[in-house]
């Protein structure tokens, strides 16, 4: 790790303890990417729900007034997270330029492609989540779970015919769903802070577009889609409380969303693969349940690293004054996620913990940071 870090801005009602711990975790997640970035977390207490465009802009500008002296392309590079998307990054970058009197595109990632952003940055976490899950499915022989009628094309597309539960309805959930549908999977759920919407036969691409439009343009609640064909809205319920049948679960909402009850519901519903798209979405007790009952559990440290990896790719493009195509970025993202899976898998094997990808990811990330500190003389033993 070098002196640069990608500090994901969390705009919500998080405690400083949670932010510090997420920053600690981010260090080891970034180490897994094998890219030259450190790690951290930051943000402010502000609930953007119901706020006007002007209020959000003023908050972002005020936040940058306190932050701009402490960031830079070779110092600290903030990126987006919960509540912080392209709009907020744009407002913060604009204020940074006004305060510094000159542009410096490498100071933030997640920017619009109109001023130094990278292709696929909004899609990266969701796409990366699916890529690493796909790599795990290829490695693990899961055909025994599928009836003959659902095996067509499975040899070339491991998601074909699999039922996938997704929580959340933000960037990660939207683009994970898009990629799952592209690969032939069946997306059966979304959620937000007010409830969940499900479709047991699977949402269509057109319905996914409706969800994206509601969230990204209208900034509305999923309850507004309760009349969608084939869908059912569950007020005040998370996806994991509903006891739905599935093959794969992709929690993409927020931390600690899957409790022991939710984990047991997944197991009873036939789930055999869980990959975490949100930051630490499963409680420790629920992780224990899942690891003892499902065949594949991919922790957030590995599974949702696609976003920060593409932030690093954006930093590289800014430094080199280059602009890669979507195809180039996508190919690099696939390579990074495949490498993360291979690292976690091989490390687990090395310590005689086969398919314990949580242990493999934790050990690999820690060992990389430890070796770097040791080599630089920071450890005196």
Q: Which residue has the tokens 């009873």?
A: 268
| Structure token pair of residue 185 | 């999977």
The CA distance from 32 to 346, in Å, is 13
The CA distance from 19 to 254, in Å, is 13
Indicate which residue of 29, 41, 179, 301 is catalytic. 41
What are the DSSP E strand ranges found in the chain? 6-11, 40-44, 77-79, 163-166, 186-187, 189-192, 195-198, 232-235, 248-250, 273-275, 296-298
- Contact predicate 299/357, CB 8 Å: yes
| Structure token pair of residue 4 | 């640069």
How long, in residues, is the chain? Answer: 381
Active site residue 41: yes
> Across-strand partners of 274?
249, 297
DSSP state of 110: S
- Contact predicate 242/198, CB 8 Å: yes
Nearest to 232 by CA among 180, 196, 186: 196
Q: How many CB atoms are located within 10 Å of the residue 217 CB?
A: 8
Catalytic residue positions, numbered: 41
């Amino acid at each position: 790790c070098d002196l640069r870090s990608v500090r994901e801005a969390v705009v919500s009602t998080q405690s400083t303890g949670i932010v510090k711990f997420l920053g600690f975790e981010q260090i080891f997640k970034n180490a897994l990417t094998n890219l030259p970035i450190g790690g951290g977390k930051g943000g402010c207490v502000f609930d953007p729900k119901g706020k006007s465009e002007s209020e959000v802009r003023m908050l972002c500008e005020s936040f940058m007034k306190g932050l701009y002296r402490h960031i830079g392309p070779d110092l600290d590079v903030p990126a987006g997270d919960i509540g912080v998307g392209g709009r907020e990054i744009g407002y913060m970058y604009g204020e940074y330029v006004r305060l510094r009197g000159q542009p410096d595109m490498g100071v933030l990632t997640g920017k619009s492609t109109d001023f130094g952003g990278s292709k696929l940055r909004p899609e990266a976490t969701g796409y990366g989540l699916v890529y690493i899950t796909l790599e795990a499915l290829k490695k693990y022989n899961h055909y025994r779970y599928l009836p003959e009628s659902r095996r067509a094309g499975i040899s070339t597309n491991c998601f074909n015919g699999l039922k996938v539960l997704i929580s959340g309805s933000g960037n990660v959930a939207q683009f994970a769903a898009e990629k799952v549908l592209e690969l032939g999977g069946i997306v059966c759920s979304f959620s937000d802070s007010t409830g969940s919407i499900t479709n047991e036969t699977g949402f269509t691409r057109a319905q996914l577009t409706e969800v994206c439009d509601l969230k990204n343009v209208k900034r509305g609640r999923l309850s507004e889609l309760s009349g969608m064909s084939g869908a059912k809205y569950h007020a005040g319920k998370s996806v994991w409380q509903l006891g739905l049948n599935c093959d794969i679960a992709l929690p993409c909402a927020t931390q600690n969303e899957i409790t022991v009850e939710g984990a047991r519901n997944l197991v009873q519903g036939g789930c055999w693969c869980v990959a975490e798209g949100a930051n630490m979405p499963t409680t420790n007790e629920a992780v224990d349940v899942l690891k003892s009952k499902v065949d594949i559990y991919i922790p957030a440290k590995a599974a949702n690293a696609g976003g920060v990896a593409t932030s690093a790719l954006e930093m590289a493009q800014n430094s080199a004054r280059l602009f890669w195509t979507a195809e180039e970025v996508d190919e690099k993202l696939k390579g990074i996620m495949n490498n993360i899976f291979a690292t976690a898998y091989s490390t687990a094997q090395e310590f005689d913990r086969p398919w314990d990808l949580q242990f493999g990811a934790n050990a690999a990330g820690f060992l990389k940071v430890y070796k770097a500190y040791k080599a630089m003389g920071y450890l005196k033993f």
